Amino acid sequence: MNFGDLTLSPFLATFIFCVSCLAGYSYRRVWKTDGPRLHYWLFGLIAASGLLLLGFVPIEAP
């Protein structure tokens, strides 16, 4: 499998960014209300993986 030509479309990158922001907001909300630890992990992993994906995978030029 060749990962050299792996790029994200602008629409997909925007979608991933929005989902990551919502997950980060939910993480903060659960943290402030001292909610269940499973939610910490779930929202934190979604936010972190989405932002890391956007940071390391290039976005194709329009």
**pLDDT digits over 3-29, tens only?**
678 899 999 999 999 999 999 999 999
Q: Residues with Cβ < 8 Å from 31, sequence gap 6 or more? A: 40
Which residues span the domain enclosing 31? 21-56
Alpha-carbon distance of 4 to 8, in angstroms, equals 12
Residue 53 clears pLDDT 60, i.e. is over it? yes
* Residue 59 bridge partners (DSSP): 8
How distant is the alpha carbon of residue 19 from its chain centre? 6
Give the pLDDT of residue 5. Answer: 80
Q: Mean pLDDT, to the nearest integer, of 40-47?
A: 95
Would residue 44 count as lying in a domain? yes
Domain annotation covers residue 3? no
Q: What percent of the chain lies above the pLDDT cut of 70? A: 94
**pLDDT score for 62:** 72
Within-domain flag for 28: yes
In the chain, the percentage of residues whose pLDDT exceeds 90 is 81
Rounded (10°) angle between helices 10-32 and 37-56: 150
